[in-house]
Amino acid sequence: MPAICTSIDPDGQTGVLQSNMHDHKSFRCDNAFRSIASQEEVFTHSIKEHVNKMGQDLVVLAYGTTGSGKTYTMFNESGLKKKESSSSSQSPRAGGKSDGLAFQALRDLFVLKEHLVEQNITITLSFCQLYLEKFYDLFREGEPGNMGLDLREDASGAAFVAGLSEVGVETFEDACLWVETGLSSRIRRKTFLNMNSSRSHAILSVRVRRAQGRSTLVRFCDLAGSERLSRGASTKKSTMAESVNINKSISSLATVMTKLSDASGKKDARFVPFRDSKLTRLLAYSLKGGARVAVIATISPLKATYEGTVSTLKFALKAMTVVQLPPPQPRDITKSPPPPSTSTAEVRREKAAGSGKGGANPYILSGEEDESIRDPDGSVENSVVSRLSARRLKLPSRSLKEPVLLDAAEVNDYVTAAAGRHRMLSDRLEQVGEMRQLVNEQLAKLLSFGLDSPTPGEAP
């Protein structure tokens, strides 16, 4: 098959693509590697520094067309065959320069653990795959409870896979054996462009915890390659459904990266559709600034994948222009409310002195202090009540000259009405989410049905 012309300028950062005499494109990135570059060289110039710092969380994305070398770069699965032929109990990956990025990172982390004994470092692993928009635990393949795990969010807003197993490892060899076990459970299939194509996104999470309570999360995401349904996938309906879901999640990730790039560094950035796929929802917190993100863009020299290669490099360029904002600080719901100001205390004393009606508890809300006044129990519902009272009187809250008296019954009515509106809005948002999921499923079925028609000369 004819190949495209790929070359790298002497600066080691600019790659050149040329499919014919007139089509010439150049792309500049942080590092460009030749096809003869070793895995150790790629690791050293891409993520080694960030792994050894163990400071901020790190996400490594292997992105590219099918058959371009993403899984080899990330995990170098040829080690599985070496292990079968090896009689030694030690993992064949130990000390190998051809190891994938994940295994080289694990080796460095265990070296740091040995050098920093006083910090009592512990390392745990979790491994899952996203197949047909469902998460599966690769460490529990075949178990009854591993039938599709859900996404949840913690207090900081970061998404995680609920029920995903997490195993502790003491040595580098143990970690390699666990990862290889997970890789052997990953779903693969033969397609027209790849004899052993990964049909799911694999996500390996390495959690490093220290005695001081600090922890660092390193994620290695080996994304399934996008492919044209007309020639990339098999004619089997199951393989077509896999291709549809793979292309959907990859397209969602590209859209998210484009939105982040267009609104880079702006606090008032426009809406970014993280919830369009489970992949982008899982990575949302990291992409928004919760972690450093490294994109390993793999390309193929085949002319048949030229358009996919250009698309991959454009994605990498978009990722380079994203300026991550600091992640939002999680709200501490256990923290007690701040003490009231002097002026607020005076107002409360006046309220207590003027309250003489049997059991009634009037609320005094003024235009200057409506947002700082609190209930006697320390709650913060007065700011809502003041705005509602101003709306009832058809006066802006800041223009009120005299205090507004509301008894307990009126306050309860306002709070109950606000809570009812909130529940109604939550129900509608949930219905919209269900409708969106239904539409996506119907769209996938329509695409599969349209492409499942018999080829010319084939019996229907």
What are the boundaries of each domain within the chain? 37-320, 342-414
Amino acid 303: pLDDT? 80
Q: What is the DSSP letter of 31?
A: -
Find the range with the poorest average confidence among 65-69, 392-396, 440-444: 392-396
- In the DSSP assignment, the letter for residue 140 is G
Mean pLDDT value across residues 380-399: 44
Model pLDDT for residues 13-57, shown as the tens digit of each residue:
666 666 655 567 778 888 888 888 899 999 999 999 999 988 789
Range among 87-96, 140-149, 249-258 rated most confident: 249-258
- The predicted pLDDT at position 236 comes to 67
Asked if 202 and 138 touch (Cβ cutoff 8 Å), the reply is yes
Residue 79, pLDDT above cutoff 60:
no
Q: Name the nearest CA neighbour of 299 among 76, 18, 32, 69.
A: 69
What is the DSSP secondary structure assignment for residue 118, as one 8-state letter? Answer: G
Question: First and final CA of the chain: distance in angstroms?
Answer: 32
Give percent above pLDDT 90 in the chain. Answer: 32
Per-residue pLDDT at 213 exceeds 90: no
**CA atoms within a 13 Å half-sphere pointing along the CA-CB vector of 291:** 25
CATH of 37-320, one of 3.40.50.300, 3.40.30.10, 3.40.850.10, 3.40.1360.10: 3.40.850.10
Chain segment 269-315, per-residue pLDDT in tens: 568 899 999 999 999 999 988 889 999 999 888 888 888 888 999 99
CA distances from 37 to 40, 45, 92 (A): 8, 11, 21
More confident residue, 188 or 355: 188
Enter the DSSP assignment of 10. T
The two tokens of residue 21 are 């005499």
pLDDT surpasses 50 at 334? no
Percent of the chain scored above 70 by pLDDT?
A: 64
pLDDT of residue 81: 45
Secondary-structure breakdown of the chain: helix, strand, coil percentages, each rounded to the nearest 5: 40, 20, 40
Locate 107 and state its tokens. Answer: 């080796």
Q: What is the pLDDT of residue 350?
A: 59
Identify the top-confidence range among 319-328, 369-378, 450-459.
Answer: 319-328
Of 3-7, 126-130, 236-240, 276-280, where does mean pLDDT reach its minimum?
3-7
pLDDT at residue 104 in the model: 94
What token pair was written down for 215? 């922890």
Q: What is the pLDDT of residues 109-146, one digit of tens each?
A: 999 999 988 889 999 999 999 999 999 999 987 776 67
Q: pLDDT at position 119, please?
A: 86
Cα–Cα distances (Å) from 326 to 219, 292, 300, in that order, read 19, 11, 35
pLDDT at 206 over 70: yes
- Res. 379 pLDDT band, cuts 50 70 90: very low
Mean pLDDT across the chain, nearest whole number?
A: 75
Query: What pLDDT score was predicted for residue 341?
Result: 47
Yes or no: say if 52 and 80 are a contact pair by the CB < 8 Å rule: no
Question: Which regions of 223-362 does DSSP assign to beta strands (E)?
Answer: 292-298
Residues 6+ apart with CB under 8 A from 129: 135, 136, 138, 185, 186, 187, 200, 201, 202, 203
Three-state secondary structure call for residue 364 = strand
Element (H, E) at 413: helix 408-451
Task: Report strand pairing: 122-131 vs 201-209.
Answer: antiparallel
**Mean pLDDT throughout 418-447?**
79
Range among 96-100, 105-109, 154-158, 307-311 rated most confident? 105-109
Does position 394 have pLDDT exceeding 50, yes or no? no
CA separation for the pair 451, 448 (Å, rounded): 5
Residue 91, pLDDT score? 47
Given this model, what pLDDT does residue 17 score? Answer: 66
What's the confidence (pLDDT) of residue 189? 85
Give me the phi and psi of 444, to 5 degrees please: -65, -40
